[in-house]
Amino acid sequence: MKLLNIQQIREWDAFTVRHEPVSSPDLMERAGRACTDYLIRHFSREYAFLVFCGLGNNGGDGLVIARLLAGYGYRVDVVVLKHANRRSDDFSLNLKRLENVPEVPVHEVVSGDQLAALPGRDKNAEMQEPDSGSRMVIIDALLGSGISKPLEGLLAETVNYINNSGRQVISIDVPTGLPADIEQWNAAIYKNLVTAHTTLTFQVPKTSFLFPDAGRFCGTLSVLDIGLHTDFLPGLSSDMEYIDKAFIDPLIKPRHKFDHKGNFGHALLVAGSRGKNGAAILAARACLRSGAGLLSVGVPQHSYPILQTAVPEAMVLPDNSDDYPVFSFGPGKYTAVGVGAGIGTEAKTLEGYKRFLQALRKPVVIDADGLNLLAGLLKTEPGFRIPENSVLTPHVKEFSRLAGEAGNSYERFHHLREFAATHQAHVLLKGAHSCLAAPDGTCYFNSTGNPAMAKGGSGDVLTGMITALLAQGYNPRDAALLGMYFHGKAGDSAARKRPASAVIASDIIEEISIEVSTA
């Protein structure tokens, strides 16, 4: 899915109105309907809703949601915040429609002192007397993608009220006060924003949601299809993609009846050192679960029995050293290589690693200490070149060793693009929305994964997965995208079986399933 800026989303909206055709109020109805469907799936009628509406179209969405929820028998109160004189036509129309639903009280707020009189203000009383009222959820439909400046006055006070309410907050389209385009975001200026538990956004994620500094205000993100006209998309230019099932499924190559292991490549992983054999084991298991035909693992000698025992499906290639790898073997006959997880940064490792990379003519994934050593090589040896067909998988700290520190996540994104282009490498910056930068400047943001994966060893699993995909003949871009997407998906499956804090990297491996899914 292409990622668009707000101007493009507005044009898409207008295109849909003209070409479907659909009236603008009907499109708003559709948006409100999609949110309501989500809400009734997630909340029983024991919950009540307090819907905060601004005077623009985001507020209009809130009014539709309130009307529809009431139709399903939920208790709903609406707060209309009179923060300006103007109101949008579709807002006015929906306020009129709500007049025909007498069971939904509408509270007009013109000044901050009225906030204290709103329903559900005393959460503690409700907790002590469970029968006295339903659990209340706040719907934030104050402002959406239309914000033009930082919030002040009544809007800022209301945002503050919402954030301190102790209630679950669900933002419609955009958390109020957050600029939707990352170019507009500036943490020093935008200080009054809703911090949502969930954001229900229309059609596409907004770019600011994907960067940690700004995206942290969104909570869990849910992208709702409101049926904007797909004919609009081919004519659009965007060098940012959001990777979802529709993008990924066509990339997957099927297996055929007469296939044999020789068709799926021979991967080589060079990983682990004394005290870090776990990295080699995790990468090796993940590699095998991701479809490599054969796997050899190059390890220092003390690791030999450990690997043979822990991963019987893999062959083990003992190095000419006891504690850490020195790359006494060459890149040889292998189809693809994964290098770096847990190898350490000893001088002898660096020496062997440099020779190894210079001789390498196969696709390679470089991770962890492999990246730290590479950062040193790029600094001390100006002529040193990253091998062709490389996929680099740094986390933020590793990336800053390669490309320098950045002041914020958007600046880091520019460094990422620049680095991928300069070195003609695919660089996958890991995080909540991992981002793959391709040498041609296109950036691909991941949609899968969750905080259960924030634990040592998750990255080693990703290395093993991408190595396997390269070994099977996927080009570096597709191997990195499939690895990134299915790694997150495996993490999501693992997190459905256990609390997030209890998920470990081995659980992610158990859930790896690289296939076209029906769900």
Ligand X SMILES: NC(=O)C1=CN([C@@H]2O[C@H](COP(=O)(O)OP(=O)(O)OC[C@H]3O[C@@H](n4cnc5c(N)ncnc54)[C@H](OP(=O)(O)O)[C@@H]3O)[C@@H](O)[C@H]2O)[C@@H](O)CC1
Report the binding-site residues for AMP. 430-434, 459
Nearest to K ion of 142, 437 (CB atom): 142
Contact letters for ligand X, residues 68-107 (x by CB under 6 A): ---------------xx-x-x-------------------
Supply 137's token pair: 């959820």
Nearest to ligand ADP of 387, 431 (CB atom): 431
Task: Specify the stretch interacting with K ion by CB under 5 A; choose among 43-51, 90-98, 174-182, 372-380.
Answer: 174-182
Which residues form the interface with ligand ADP (CB under 6 A)?
Answer: 368, 395, 430-432, 434, 449-451, 453-454, 456-460, 462, 487-488
Binder to K ion among 36, 158, 171, 199 (CB under 5 A)?
171
Residue type, 486: F
Residue 149 binds ligand X, judged by CB under 6 A: yes
Nearest to K ion of 144, 363 (CB atom): 144
Contact letters for ligand X, residues 163-202 (x by CB under 6 A): ---------xxx---------------------------x
Binder to ligand X among 5, 8, 145, 171 (CB under 6 A)?
145
Q: CA-CA distance, 318 to 377, in Å (whole number)? A: 25
Q: Name 308's Cβ contacts closer than 8 Å, sequence gap at least 6.
A: 316
Nearest to K ion of 13, 507 (CB atom): 13
Which residues define the annotated binding site for K(+)? 58, 140, 176
Quick check: 189 and 75 in contact, CB under 8 A? Answer: no
495 Rama class: left (phi>0) / alpha (psi -120 to 50) / beta: alpha
Residue 176 binds K ion, judged by CB under 5 A: yes
Return the one option of K ion, ligand ADP, ligand X, none that residue 434 interacts with (CB less than 5 to 8 A, by type): ligand ADP
Return the one option of K ion, ligand ADP, ligand X, none that residue 140 interacts with (CB less than 5 to 8 A, by type): K ion
Residue 148 binds ligand X, judged by CB under 6 A: yes
Q: What is the DSSP pairing of strand 435-437 with strand 426-429?
A: antiparallel
Taking alpha carbons only, the member of 291, 294, 297 closest to residue 277 is: 297
Nearest to K ion of 144, 293 (CB atom): 144
Quick check: 463 and 338 in contact, CB under 8 A? Answer: yes
Specify burial of residue 508 (Cβ count, 10 A radius: 0-12, 13-18, 19+).
buried
Q: How big is the chain, counted in residues?
A: 519
Nearest to ligand ADP of 62, 459 (CB atom): 459
Which residues define the annotated binding site for (6S)-NADPHX? 57-61, 144-150, 173, 279, 342, 395, 460
Alpha helices in 141-255 (DSSP H): 153-163, 212-215, 245-248
Number of residues that bind K ion (CB under 5 A): 5
Q: CA-CA distance, 261 to 245, in Å (whole number)? A: 27
Supply 337's token pair: 């290589």
Q: Please report how close the Cβ of residue 286 comes to ligand ADP at its closest, in angstroms.
A: 11
Nearest to K ion of 159, 357 (CB atom): 159
Residue 56 binds ligand X, judged by CB under 6 A: yes
Q: CA-CA distance, 112 to 161, in Å (whole number)? A: 9
Task: Specify the stretch interacting with ligand X by CB under 6 A; choose among 148-156, 160-168, 406-414, 507-515.
Answer: 148-156
Nearest to ligand ADP of 306, 432 (CB atom): 432
Q: Reduce the DSSP state of residue 252 to 3 states and report it.
A: coil
Task: Specify the stretch interacting with ligand X by CB under 6 A; choose among 54-62, 110-118, 378-386, 499-507.
Answer: 54-62
Quick check: 178 and 170 in contact, CB under 8 A? Answer: no
- Rounded to the nearest 10 degrees, the angle between the axes of helix 89-99 and helix 57-71 is 20
Residue 57 binds ligand X, judged by CB under 6 A: yes
Residue 512's φ and ψ, nearest 5 degrees, are: -60, 130
Radius of gyration of the chain measured on its C-alpha atoms: 26
Q: Please report how close the Cβ of residue 87 comes to ligand X at its closest, in angstroms.
A: 7
Return the one option of ligand ADP, ligand X, K ion, none that residue 375 interacts with (CB less than 5 to 8 A, by type): none
Nearest to ligand X of 86, 361 (CB atom): 86
Return the one option of K ion, ligand X, ligand ADP, none that residue 13 interacts with (CB less than 5 to 8 A, by type): ligand X
Q: Reduce the DSSP state of residue 192 to 3 states and report it.
A: coil
Q: CA-CA distance, 121 to 214, in Å (whole number)? A: 28
Contact letters for K ion, residues 138-167 (x by CB under 5 A): --x---x-----------------------
Return the one option of K ion, ligand X, ligand ADP, none that residue 171 interacts with (CB less than 5 to 8 A, by type): K ion
Q: CA-CA distance, 105 to 302, in Å (whole number)? A: 73
DSSP string, 295-337: EEEEE-GGGHHHHHHH-TTSEEEE-SSSSS----S-STT-SEE
Q: CA-CA distance, 180 to 143, in Å (whole number)? A: 11
Which residues define the annotated binding site? 57-61, 140, 144-150, 173, 176, 279, 342, 395, 430-434, 459-460
Return the one option of K ion, ligand X, ligand ADP, none that residue 176 interacts with (CB less than 5 to 8 A, by type): K ion
Specify burial of residue 501 (Cβ count, 10 A radius: 0-12, 13-18, 19+).
exposed
Interacting residues with K ion (CB under 5 A): 140, 144, 171-172, 176
Interacting residues with ligand X (CB under 6 A): 9, 13, 27-28, 31, 54-61, 83-84, 86, 88, 143-151, 155, 172-174, 202-203
